Amino acid sequence: RTYEEYTVDSNAKPILTGISIGDKVGKGVVRVITDVKKMKDFKRGEILVTKMTDPDWNAILTMSSAVITDEGGKTCHSAIISRELGIPCIVGTKDATQKLKTGDMVTVDCSSGQIGRILEGDVPFSVKEYNLEEMPEINTKITLNIGAPDTAFKASFLPSDGVGLAREEFIIAEKVRIHPMALIDYDNVELTKEEREIADDLTREYADKKEYFVNELAEGIAQIAAAFYPKKVIVRFSDFKTNEYRNLIGGRLFEGEESNPMLGFRGASRYIDKSFQPAFEMECKAIKRVREIFGLTNVCVMVPFCRTVEEGKQVVELIRKFGLNDDMPIYVMCEIPSNVILAEQFLEVFDGMSIGSNDLTQLTLGLDRDNGGLAHIGNENNEAVKELIRRVIRICKEKNKYCGICGQAPSDYPDFARKLAKSLNDNPQNRGLVLCGSGIGVDIVANRFGKVRCGLGFDKKQVYHGRAFDDINCLALPADFVNFNQAKKLVKIFLETKFSGQERHKRRLKKIEKISN
């Protein structure tokens, strides 16, 4: 189990900049594609340059060495999928499709922080690997987001407590490819000649076409669950929007056109609708197969975009009706303000909540999360969003219910992760770890909390003295001045060193506490 640290060996002026996704570096030949229908021109290992992507582009994304888009923010489709695939991605460049040409050789640098750089030519870079086996255990449970089953095995070697969000969308778009309702009455569905040929080829081995959907979905989920067994894997039921469902084979026959699909026929509202219930039943049967036939009982489910408590009750009733046992937990995404306002009532229906900070942010602030021009406003560090998240965490703790977070916030904002950890581990015996560029900013912020004694850590002796003499319970690391290996050693000393307990040190701490009060 290793962690890779990328460094670009050049100060060259970038051709373009944008929002950096991940922290890797990639290089290759540019392929500009503005129409997904021309994806056949794309060659494995090229760098995809396009305006924006949606699930139709997944096949190209899996072949790309890097991705560059004109539009989008940190939670757009390109960003989410690239992050899961582990490839560098720069979104929101505004005019990459105009400035870059097919055949250009470029280097995509996401190693330098929030701003990603596109550099001309084959720029040298270095990669350092660090052994994760030596990392100390922490009290906050860290789980992973997984979309593509093929990434699960590699991801399972990372230090984690399982999967907090396994998405069905990638499996359905890439493996199934056919709208579930088109499989219900397959022989009578009016597909085009091309659609019929593709669908017949995909489902050739299945007399019952519904069985094709159930089996393909079950196998994809099982691939993720088996990689992490016996750790918990929370599978979120499909959360395609109407426009995304239309892109599946036969989708145009079952999906209308909506002016704002993000706020339309999706999530729980879709599952309980009579027009979609047969498709939802197939999803439940796939989960049942994974748990009962494959024996992967570490799988449980989560309901996305549940607008009302009544919707929640109806969905849970359907899940049980379709054969999933009462002993399997059912969670709900907390991604709509109503989920927060009525959290106590939702928790009477569900076994816990997972905070979807991406949708919660856009719905709280009234933003389009795919609009790169509003990215500076639409982030989870906004005080209104954090207040909602604090409320949910508190209520889940009071109700003794599961609470997780599966949006982008913990990855982008270290102070956000610190506050989450503090809320979940409100225990004087615990230790905290915070970081930023210099370490000074988070050090100042952390010490504003009454029970926190935070010290800045640059070297081993300094950290030892901080623990032994000043009883610091939080270590602030300067990310721009210590590398991963140095940080690992500093954290080890911080966790293993005990307070001396000497009277002079106790007296000093009492004086400090008195001044603070």
Give how far the C-alpha of residue 406 lies from the chain's centroid of Cα atoms, to the nearest Å. Answer: 5
**Active-site annotation holds for 406:** yes
Identify the active-site residue in 76, 284, 334, 406: 406
Residue 377 sits at φ, ψ, to 5 deg, of -95, -45
* Nearest one of 181, 111, 110, 15 to 484, comparing CA atoms: 111
Q: How far apart are CA 335 and CA 407, in angstroms?
A: 9
Q: How far apart are CA 477 and CA 474, in angstroms?
A: 10
* Nearest one of 251, 340, 343 to 54, comparing CA atoms: 251
Give how far the C-alpha of residue 206 lies from the chain's centroid of Cα atoms, to the nearest Å. Answer: 34
The answer for 250, left when phi > 0, alpha when psi is -120 to 50, beta otherwise, is: left
Residue 17 sits at φ, ψ, to 5 deg, of -135, 160
Q: Which helix H or strand E contains 194, and what residues bound it?
A: helix 193-202
Beta-bridged to residue 455, according to DSSP, are 475
Q: How far apart are CA 481 and CA 470, in angstroms?
A: 23
Neighbours of 98 (CB within 10 A): 12
Terminal alpha carbon distance of the chain: 45
Residue 139 DSSP label: S
- Burial letters 58-94, b for 16+ CB under 10 A, else e: bebbbbbbbbbbbbbbbbbbbbbbbbbbebbbbbbbe
**Active-site annotation holds for 77:** yes
Give the position of tokens 């009071």.
398
Question: What is the token pair recorded at 221?
Answer: 């989920």
Q: Per-residue DSSP letters for 228-241?
A: HTTS-EEEEPP---
Q: Which helix H or strand E contains 4, and what residues bound it?
A: strand 2-8
Q: How far apart are CA 70 and CA 515, in angstroms?
A: 53
* Nearest one of 112, 90, 125, 119 to 20, comparing CA atoms: 90
Question: What is the token pair recorded at 101?
Answer: 């040409």
Give how far the C-alpha of residue 485 lies from the chain's centroid of Cα atoms, to the nearest Å. Answer: 26
Identify the active-site residue in 76, 77, 436, 474: 77
Which residues, other chains included, contact 503 with Cβ-Cβ below 8 Å and sequence gap of 6+? none
Catalytic residues: 77, 406
